[in-house]
Structure 1
Amino acid sequence: MFDKEPWQSELVPLSEDVFRLIRDLIREYCGMFFDDASRFLLERRLSRRVRTNHLEDFRDYYRLLLYDRKREEELEAIIDVLTVNETYFFREQNQLRAFSEEILPVLKNTCRNKKIRIWSAGCSTGEEPYTIAMLILEYGNFAGWDIEILGSDINQRVLTSARRGVYRKNSFRTTDNYFIEKYFTEENALFTISDKVKQAVSFCYLNLLDPFKVKFISRMDIVFCRNVLIYFDCEARKKVINDFHDRLLDGGYLLLGHAESLASISTSFDLVHL
């Protein structure tokens, strides 16, 4: 008989009924939905959280998530272990080209108050909002303009990383050397973003399903929400998209991931081919 792998010996059994309780609680908290086929995934990824909290089983863990004073902290930890924070600079370059060559010129001609507000929702470790800042610095010619770029995420760990602005080489898989040399300083295989770019972006913790906090977001000219909706069920997607619509100024733009669509979710937006 073969010995178990280390990760197998640490697993805490997750019964079907408790899986559904925890699954529904996560869904209510942040909109992420896991179907029945995901039970082993949750068992594998959350067993360490059960052990870390010195609990016997997942039923005790569920009670912690319901009643414990640190439930909010634990729910944030769950988000951290369940989400894949796959991102890099200049991701989806065709869309970024449309942003810099089509959308920015339109805003420059129509924003009479010389203010532009951009929101990167689900910004992860910051590559997206910093990319936006570099494009504006490079192509916008917005000297004297009041430009705000906000990055938000539900994961405190990735926000801490975003604020540091230090990256490894895998964050630059599609980045032209020109941008790396101009906007980053390399030391010991780590790349630190320049203060000029960092100062253009602010970050905040935000659960997109928290209607009270979302309403405190300023009205925006552009919302980037790319490869975030894939984690949500249909109901959560509708709610988030409706909130984006409420937060956008008239004529504002919503940019989704290349594989995402508003079909069956919202009719409040007009599709623009750029």
Structure 2
Amino acid sequence: MAETRDDLSTADGIWSLRRLPEMDEAQFSQWQTLLEHRTGMALTESRKSFLETNLGIRMREIGCNSYQAYYEQIVSGPDAIVEWATLVDRLTVQETRFFRDEDAFRLVSDYVMTRPRETLRKRPLEAWSVGCSTGEEAYTLAMILNQCMEALALKPLFGVTGSDISKPAITKARSGLFSARKLTSIDKTMKNRYFRPAQRNTVEIVASIRDRVCFTHLNVLDLKHAPMHGVNIIFCQNLLIYFRRWRRREIVKRLAERLAPGGLLVLGQGELTDWHPPGLQRVPSEHVLAWIKRQPDEE
């Protein structure tokens, strides 16, 4: 009988393509618990197939044919830490692009342009991209701040920090290299100014912007240990949707603690509803969900 594609095995060096059995409820529950405990990511029943698919791909790569065996490898295997980092990178959605939310970045620009010049002249602006993925958002913030400083005829005193739970994503962000197709939606003037051709149909961020941006590995569940303090702008979009409502509030409280008085916090539309973070004042906008941290005398 001829060997079918689904019967291929690893015996001859080819990863198994045999379909894995469906994950049972007990297995799904333990994976849900592990992911929420370690990352805060809440997987609903509707995301079960997403989990099965991504676990299955990784399991085939390493020659593992049991969800339980892979779970034990992740929890207590000899390479558990390295394997966990690889899996987290697969499970965190990294859909991002430059200038992804034009309204939100326009709000950031308006915020900077209306700050007292004397303040901007004396103290560097600090911005933080939370859940920055491969860096497009952080670099966009740097470009926006650079444009603002030039428009105000001020020295470019600013810095941007990008943080993410995925170590491979952070490594890519630090390289400053992107596929040329990532620039298709960028204004030609911005493209010519802030990007340079690189090898193999890639482009790189110009040094004047790259030097203003740094990246760090950070799990938002560990925000209480984050070294960022007195930040002027915190940009956290399309991250909170993965968490339960109570945890979203907890994360926003932690972020607010790291804002400087008068600082700006920008979230994604719909990520936080029916709740007003203490100490923050909502920015009147139909298209952007954002708050300003009240000054001490406004409390």
Residue deviations 1:202-260 (CA, integer Å, cap 9, x gap): 0000001014532x223211100011111222232122111101111112111112343
Is the 2:223–2:251 Cα contact (8 Å) retained in structure 1?
A: no
Residues 153 and 206 of structure 1 are in contact (CA less than 8 Å); yes or no, is this contact kept in structure 2?
yes
Going from structure 1 to structure 2, the CA distance change for 1:257 and 1:171 (only over 3 Å counts) comes to: farther
Which of 254, 262, 271 is the aligned partner of 2:265? Answer: 254
Q: Return the offset for 1:145.
A: 5.5
Tell me whether 1:189 sits opposite 2:201 in the alignment. yes
Alignment match, 1:129: 138
Q: Distance in 2 between matches of 1:140 and 1:94?
A: 19
Q: Deviations over 1:151-182 (max 9, x none)?
A: 01111111111111111233224310001111
- The answer as to whether partners of 2:248 and 2:272 remain within 8 angstroms in 1 is no
Report the AA paired with residue 259 of structure 2: L
| Aligned-partner Cα distance in 1 for 2:145–2:253 | 27
In structure 1, the residue matched to 2:252 is 241
- 2-structure distance, mates of 1:65, 1:264: 36
3-state SS in 2 of match to 1:209: helix
Q: Is the aligned partner of 1:179 residue 2:190?
A: yes
Q: 1:120 maps to what in 2?
A: 129
Counterpart of 1:38 in 2: which secondary structure? Answer: helix
Choose 107-116 or 88-97, whichever is displaced more: 107-116
The answer to which structure, 1 or 2, has the higher relative contact order (CA under 8 A, 6+ apart) is 1
Which amino acid is the alignment partner of residue 81 of structure 1?
R
1:63 aligns with 2:72: yes
2:85, 2:167 within 8 Å by CA — same for their partners in 1? yes
Q: Structure 1 pair 5/79, CA: closer, same or farther in 2 (3 Å)?
A: farther
Task: Single out whichever of 121-130 and 229-238 deviates more from structure 2.
Answer: 229-238
SS at match of 1:210: helix
Q: Distance in 2 between matches of 1:155 and 1:110?
A: 35
CA–CA distance in structure 2, aligned partners of residues 172 and 35 of structure 1: 34
What displacement does 1:13 show? Answer: 3.8
User: Contact 1:88–1:170 at 8 Å: present in 2 too?
Assistant: no
| In structure 1, distance between residues paired with 2:55 and 2:276 | 31
The SS at the match of 2:158 is strand
Unpaired segments ≥5 residues, structure 2: 9-15, 286-299
CA distance in 1, matches of 2:104, 2:238: 13
Q: Does 100-109 or 6-15 show the bigger shift?
A: 6-15
The answer to whether the 8 A contact 1:100-1:135 is kept is: yes
Alignment of 1:1-274 (within 5 A): 9-106=18-115, 108=117, 110=119, 113-141=122-150, 143-144=154-155, 146-187=157-198, 188-214=200-226, 216-264=227-275, 266-273=277-284
Hey, what's the Cα distance between the residues in 2 that align with 1:222 and 1:79?
Answer: 27
CA distance in 2 between partners of 1:206 and 1:77 (Å): 15
> 2 CA distance for matches of 1:69 and 1:3?
32
Q: Is the 8 A contact 1:153 1:207 kept in 2?
A: yes
User: How much is the aligned-residue C-alpha RMSD, in angstroms?
Assistant: 2.6
Distance 2:7 2:133 in 1: 31
Determine the C-alpha separation between the residues in 1 that align with 2:269 and 2:47: 25
Query: Closer, same or farther in 2 for the Cα pair 1:262/1:251, shift >3 Å?
Result: farther
Could you list the runs of 5+ residues in structure 1 that have no partner in the other structure?
none
Contact 2:5/2:17, CA 8 A, preserved across alignment: no
The alpha-carbon distance between structure 1 residues 139 and 113, as it changes in their structure 2 partners (threshold 3 A), is: closer
Cα distance in 1 for residues equivalent to 2:268 and 2:7: 37
d(CA) in 2 for partners of 1:164, 1:124: 13
